[in-house]
Amino acid sequence: MDGTFSKAEFEDRRAKYQAELEDLERRVAYLDRHEEKQPKLVVDHARIQTNISNVIDAYKRLNSKT
């Protein structure tokens, strides 16, 4: 596989990462309200943001080839 995927695959991945991001944002907000800081959430949030950026970049590359 050359690292590209269809628009449908992109949308599936985007939706998955968006759902993960929203879940993490809810978890972070909960922890903020309860003044409990957990570094793992910050790392997870950064990882998901990176994944979303990677999917968007791949989609842009895919569209530039068509």
Residue pair 45/24 in contact (Cβ under 8 Å)? The answer is: yes
Q: State the Cα–Cα distance between residues 7 and 12, nearest whole angstrom.
A: 9
User: What pLDDT, on a 0 to 100 scale, did the predictor assign at position 38?
Assistant: 59
Q: Is the pLDDT assigned to residue 23 strictly greater than 80?
A: yes
Q: Is the pLDDT assigned to residue 3 strictly greater than 70?
A: no
Q: How many CB atoms lie within 10 A of CB 7?
A: 11
Place of tokens 């989609």: 59
Q: State the Cα–Cα distance between residues 28 and 37, nearest whole angstrom.
A: 8
Q: What is the pLDDT of residues 25-66, one digit of tens each?
A: 888 788 777 665 556 666 777 788 888 888 888 888 887 865
Provide mean pLDDT across the span 6-24.
88
Q: State the Cα–Cα distance between residues 17 and 5, nearest whole angstrom.
A: 16
